[in-house]
Structure 1
Amino acid sequence: MGKVNVCLKRSYIIVTSLIAILSALLLAVTLFHHGHIHYNEEIEIMLPGVFAMYGISIITLILAIIGVYGACKEKKWALILFVVGMILGSLILITSDILGLARRPQEVQQLKRHYLQMLPLNNASEITIDSLKEIQIELECCGLDQGYQDWGYNIPQSCLCSQEATNPCVEAPRNSSLSEYTMMNDQYVKIYKESCLPYLIAYVMMVIDTAMGILLGVILLWLLSVALCIFILCRLSKKEDIPVVVYSTEAKAGNYTPLADSAEVT
């Protein structure tokens, strides 16, 4: 069994330990998210994704621990198990990333159908209305598809333009529920002009693109750990050069003279 370079072993342990830390953080975030959505109405839709995150984080954490153990103790079986597991995991993540990019247009259409189902907003549930009000304040918009007209007569105060608003605003309809809010110069208040659906889709797509970028970074980190582990396995499989012992007929006991005899002669 050959000797493993110290720098190579330390590099592998550092990378694998980083993977273990990230896996532990992912597991903690998944536990928190699972508890947060426990009382959500759409928990049945979210559960498959939560269980997938559990599986990825736990399996990756176990593989990372086995990989560090294999490097420290120079156990080939542990390193081989780490390589096989991480390669399979990397292939799954690469496939998911490619499928996510391919399904991007379908996700946009699905988001549109999901939000347009909430119309008319006057008949929407209180939870939907409250969440949409928060979205209107955050994204500086009003309504979903046709702007403030989606609210009919009852336009919420979350559609009112703030003093720091950057999106375009228009005067509120005179027959709306906001007609009682007037400026000091007897001008009607202004509300956000644009609807929220384009901003919502752009925001969700940005989150998806960010997640895919993070996923690509994780894949590269996993592949780096696999490459380092393969180098360690190659070093362990390499046989050390053992010097060959050659017998010589000249090496006889009679060819040597004790030093004590020469000292007595002098």
Structure 2
Amino acid sequence: MPFSSPREYVEEESDLQTSEAANMAQINICLKRIFTIFNIFFMVVGGVVILLALWCQFFMSIRGGHNLEGRATQLFILHIVGVITMMIAVLGAYGAHKESKVALIMFLVFMFTGCLLMLMTGIPAASSYPQVKGRMEETFRKFVPLDKSRKDVRNMAEDIQKQFHCCGLFSYKDWENIPNSCVCSQEEEKEGKCQTVGNNNFMQQSKSIYAKNCFPTIMDYIQFHYNIILVISFTLAVLALLGMILSSIMIHQLYYPNRPTVMISMMPPKYEELYNIPEY
């Protein structure tokens, strides 16, 4: 029985190690790196959503406690979305690093579900915004005159007037008795932000009040929140779609390691010689 030379033995052992390494690493290394970068960015987006929720919570707590109570559910949803986004990113990074089929399949399912939820949130919000202004105006018209509205509506109107330096929802005439929250300071009078009007109650003197009404400012505030919802929804939807594509390709490579995928080929094709070596 012929013995192998030391050189042939080393070559056989090297080929065996190369074959074992190829069997262990079934996912393309370039795809792994792209997927890792994607999950890092995805995690950063989740952190930004959490920071945005904390910033809104801090901002509203400064402006007034009742604003925070009214937005508690929305802030809670933002916190949950941010935490879930970061957890899914960790799951995807773990699945790619360990080449775990279960983790990558779970990641794919979460990406598909998240993409649907974000589109279901963003598309109706984008399509319904043009009708929001008309509905808000119709609702606010029912509160006029503000003196005869409910106590919570009067308090809300006065808080808005103090915060945004405006008077009345549509005009100062929305008040039969103009409150002190409409009154300008001396500095604002010098800046030309005020107007002098007579009070509807003839027993009182005329007042210097804010010239602008509050409804346009309220609509700008609502539009700002709509824009936040749209940006978050469509950004997460696009990232979820990209995550679905990348995870699907990696799962394909795990189930069919010897079958080339159509997507990424970072290396140029190898060319074979077209001539035959003559035999003697």
TM-score (norm 2): 0.63
Q: Aligned residue for 1:245?
A: none
- The answer as to 2:34 corresponding to 1:11 is yes
Counterpart-to-counterpart distance in 2, 1:99 and 1:88 = 17
Q: 1:136 to 1:49 in 2, by over 3 A?
A: closer
- The answer as to 2:41 corresponding to 1:23 is no
Q: 1:234 to 1:159 in 2, by over 3 A?
A: farther
Counterpart-to-counterpart distance in 2, 1:61 and 1:96 = 20
The structural deviation recorded for 1:218 is 2.1
The structural deviation recorded for 1:91 is 1.4
- The one of 66, 73, 94 equivalent to 1:69 is 94
Contact 2:167 2:214 survives alignment (8 Å): yes
Q: 1:165 to 1:115 in 2, by over 3 A?
A: farther
The structural deviation recorded for 1:208 is 0.6
Contact 1:9 1:71 survives alignment (8 Å): yes
Counterpart-to-counterpart distance in 2, 1:227 and 1:163 = 60
Contact 2:198 2:207 survives alignment (8 Å): no
What amino acid maps onto 2:36 in structure 1? I
Contact 1:94 1:219 survives alignment (8 Å): yes
Counterpart-to-counterpart distance in 2, 1:92 and 1:166 = 48
Contact 2:166 2:210 survives alignment (8 Å): yes
State the Cα RMSD in Å: 4.0
Contact 2:169 2:213 survives alignment (8 Å): yes
Structure 2: which 5+ residue stretches go unaligned? Answer: 1-22, 260-280
- The one of 197, 209, 214 equivalent to 2:232 is 214
Q: Deviations over 1:199-255 (max 9, x none)?
A: 3123312321342123212222222222222232233344349xxxxxxxxxxxxxx
TM-score (norm 1): 0.66
What amino acid maps onto 1:6 in structure 2? I
The structural deviation recorded for 1:174 is 6.3
What amino acid maps onto 2:122 in structure 1? D
Contact 1:137 1:159 survives alignment (8 Å): no
Contact 2:122 2:229 survives alignment (8 Å): no
Q: What secondary structure sits across from 2:195 in the alignment?
A: strand
Q: Aligned residue for 1:132?
A: 157
Q: Aligned residue for 2:107?
A: 82
Counterpart-to-counterpart distance in 1, 2:35 and 2:189 = 54
Higher relative CO (Cα under 8 Å, sequence separation at least 6) belongs to: 1
The structural deviation recorded for 1:149 is 1.4
Counterpart-to-counterpart distance in 1, 2:118 and 2:180 = 43
Q: Aligned residue for 2:223?
A: 205
Counterpart-to-counterpart distance in 1, 2:190 and 2:159 = 17
Aligned residues: 229
Q: Aligned residue for 1:249?
A: none
The structural deviation recorded for 1:88 is 1.8
Structure 1: which 5+ residue stretches go unaligned? Answer: 181-187, 242-266
Q: 1:210 to 1:233 in 2, by over 3 A?
A: same
Highest Rg: 1 or 2?
Answer: 1
Q: 1:24 to 1:72 in 2, by over 3 A?
A: same
* 1:40-189 equivalent positions in 2, closer than 5 A: 40=66, 49=74, 52-53=77-78, 56-124=81-149, 128-145=153-170, 147-160=171-184, 162-163=188-189, 169-173=194-198
Contact 2:39 2:93 survives alignment (8 Å): yes
Counterpart-to-counterpart distance in 1, 2:252 and 2:47 = 30
